[in-house]
């Protein structure tokens, strides 16, 4: 896991002048017609904490909330993108999670994406932001929405209690690999609880080793076994965990590819992934995208989305 900014494309601006930013934002928003270019430029070239400082100063100067002004002044996908860029990451995660739970039927994909890919720290922060808004923790809310083995796994992840030790014991990893093999491939029927316990609780480095050991023991990848042995939402979730364990950037490169593949563009996914990873690991996502699809992510975005929305996404991506 990286500290923000280390592998991101959105970085802190050196010698930031907050009052200059506020003046530029006001001019862009209050002038006749919004100047998208200024909004995009500021929101894609400041770190999250810098943007919070700018938002605070904006509110002190204008007695208005920047996010609300952005909503009132832009629309559609561009609005969603700029608003998300202006908000703290934990607030975005909380809002996306809430929307996923609140809709008619839970949006399993978003639930899985967020809970499978975030660190304990990110899950704790999103839980705090969630509780501040809804007066309930995600766990309390999820308890009433998810059930069965999938529910158990989701609630374990929502605790943000994954083991965080970095030293790997090869024997223990081999034991877990064996346990998974005997709970699935080697058994008539599948012991889902074993898969849930190991994949939702063990540390990422330990799981990486376990996945290697699993291949040695069973001759198959763990992902293939999960796809064969488990079905439905639980299968989707466990596969997402395995993908994130192997490479979170590759997991998101695939998400981006799928959001742009085929006829329409899934702009909500595109926005969510570009914003949530912009300050974290976008450089690695770009590299994985190239490796997986022999194309540049920047070119893919350029050919798929246009206008100010496309310009803003390209700024987050950066030319590769």
DSSP 8-state symbol, 230 = -
Count the Cβ atoms, other than its own, within 10 Å of residue 102.
12
Tell me whether residue 4 is in a domain. no
Q: Could you give the CA distance from residue 191 to residue 196 in angstroms, rounded to a whole number?
A: 9
Q: Could you give the C-alpha distances from 116 to 110, 138, 224, 239, in angstroms and in order?
A: 10, 15, 18, 9
Q: For 269-283, what is the mean pLDDT?
A: 97
Q: What is the pLDDT of residue 201?
A: 97
DSSP 15-42: T--HHHHHHHHHHHHHSSS--HHHHHHH
pTM comes to 0.94
Q: What is the pLDDT of residues 97-149, one digit of tens each?
A: 999 987 666 689 999 999 999 999 999 999 999 999 999 999 999 998 899 99
Q: What is the pLDDT of residue 95?
A: 95
Domain boundary among 218, 246, 274: 246
User: Domain total for the chain?
Assistant: 4
pLDDT at 271 over 60: yes
DSSP, collapsed to helix, strand or coil, labels residue 58 as: helix
Q: Are 239 and 174 within one domain? A: yes
Q: What is the pLDDT of residue 2?
A: 42
Q: Are 255 and 242 within one domain? A: no
Q: Are 259 and 309 within one domain? A: yes
Q: Are 150 and 178 within one domain? A: no
Q: What is the pLDDT of residue 187?
A: 84
Tell me whether residue 71 is in a domain. yes
Q: What is the pLDDT of residue 207?
A: 98
Q: How confident is the model at residue 246 (pLDDT cuts 50, 70, 90)?
A: very high
Tell me whether residue 6 is in a domain. no
Domain that holds residue 185: 170-246
Query: Is 186 or 61 the better-scoring residue by pLDDT?
Result: 61
Domain boundary among 86, 108, 125: 86
Tell me whether residue 263 is in a domain. yes
Tell me whether residue 103 is in a domain. yes
Q: Are 57 and 43 within one domain? A: yes
Q: What is the pLDDT of residue 274?
A: 98
Q: What is the pLDDT of residue 154?
A: 96
Is 273 in contact with 317 (CB distance < 8 Å)?
no
Q: For 256-271, what is the mean pLDDT?
A: 92
Q: Read off the CATH number of the domain in which 186 is found.
A: 1.10.220.10
Report the chain's mean pLDDT, rounded to a whole number.
Answer: 94
Q: Are 253 and 239 within one domain? A: no
Q: Are 26 and 78 within one domain? A: yes
Domain boundary among 246, 276, 298: 246
Tell me whether residue 217 is in a domain. yes
Q: Are 62 and 117 within one domain? A: no
Q: What is the pLDDT of residues 81-95, one digit of tens each?
A: 999 999 999 999 999
Tell me whether residue 142 is in a domain. yes
Q: How confident is the model at residue 264 (pLDDT cuts 50, 70, 90)?
A: confident
Q: Are 241 and 254 within one domain? A: no
Q: Are 67 and 108 within one domain? A: no
Tell me whether residue 165 is in a domain. no
Q: What is the pLDDT of residue 298?
A: 98
Q: What is the pLDDT of residue 185?
A: 86
């Amino acid at each position: 896991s990286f500290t923000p900014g280390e592998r991101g494309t959105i970085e802190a601006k050196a010698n930031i002048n907050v009052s200059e930013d506020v003046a530029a934002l006001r001019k862009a928003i209050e002038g006749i017609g919004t100047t998208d270019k200024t909004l995009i430029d500021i929101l894609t070239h400041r770190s999250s904490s810098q943007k919070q400082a700018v938002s605070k100063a904006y509110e002190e100067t204008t007695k208005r909330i920047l996010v609300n002004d952005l909503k009132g002044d832009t629309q559609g996908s561009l609005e969603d993108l700029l608003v998300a860029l202006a908000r703290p990451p934990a607030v975005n995660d909380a809002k996306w999670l809430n929307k996923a739970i609140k809709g008619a039927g839970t949006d399993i994909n978003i639930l899985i994406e967020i809970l499978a890919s975030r660190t304990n720290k990110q899950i704790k922060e999103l839980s705090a932001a969630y509780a501040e808004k809804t007066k309930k923790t995600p766990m309390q809310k999820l308890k009433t929405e998810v059930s069965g083995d999938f529910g158990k796994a989701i609630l374990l992840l929502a605790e943000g209690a994954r083991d965080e030790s970095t030293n790997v014991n090869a024997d223990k990893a081999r034991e877990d690999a064996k346990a998974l093999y005997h709970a699935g491939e080697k058994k008539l029927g599948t012991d889902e609880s074993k898969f849930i316990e190991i994949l939702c609780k063990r540390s990422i480095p330990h799981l990486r080793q376990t996945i290697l050991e699993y291949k040695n023991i069973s001759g198959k990848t763990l992902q293939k076994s999960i796809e064969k042995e488990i079905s439905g939402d639980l299968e989707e979730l466990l596969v997402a965990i395995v993908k994130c364990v192997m490479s979170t950037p590759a997991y998101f490169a695939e998400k981006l590819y799928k959001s742009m593949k085929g006829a329409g563009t899934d702009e909500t996914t595109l926005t969510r992934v570009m914003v949530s990873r912009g300050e974290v690991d976008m450089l690695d996502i770009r590299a994985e995208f190239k490796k997986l699809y022999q194309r540049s992510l920047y070119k893919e975005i350029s050919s798929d989305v246009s206008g100010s929305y496309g310009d803003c996404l390209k700024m987050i991506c950066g030319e590769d």
